[in-house]
A = this chain, B = another copy of it.
């Protein structure tokens, strides 16, 4: 796992205590946590931590391309730090978000119908393997 502090410095973000801890949390929790999840799990370590800081920090990380913000209709945003590209499966039964290996990003054109393409997000909808057993 890459050093959180270094990642921030490379993106010209001063590595404050809160920012480093939030980034480390995302590195250690690839399960697409929400702002609420981050807050709930970190408030014991930093009792002064504010939800506003988490919102601000995750917005900053998203803008700098450090994390990916995953939108789910009508729900909170989920955040994803990951080194490698992957797609996601959104379970219609339990609402869970699962990583899916994918090679789609490999064949990205950087120009599609005149638009400049910077990235791609693939979301599958379906029933996850857990819910499927029932």
Contacts and interface: CB of A to CB of B under 8 A. Distances in A.
Residues of A contacting B: mostly: strand
B121 A126 contact: no
- Give the number of times this chain occurs in the complex, counting copies: 2
A117 B126 CA distance: 4
Interface stretch (A9-17, A18-26, A43-51, A72-80): A72-80
Contacts of A100: 112-113, 115
Interface string A107-134: 0000011111111111111111100100
B125 A120 contact: yes
A69 B73 contact: yes
A92 interface: yes
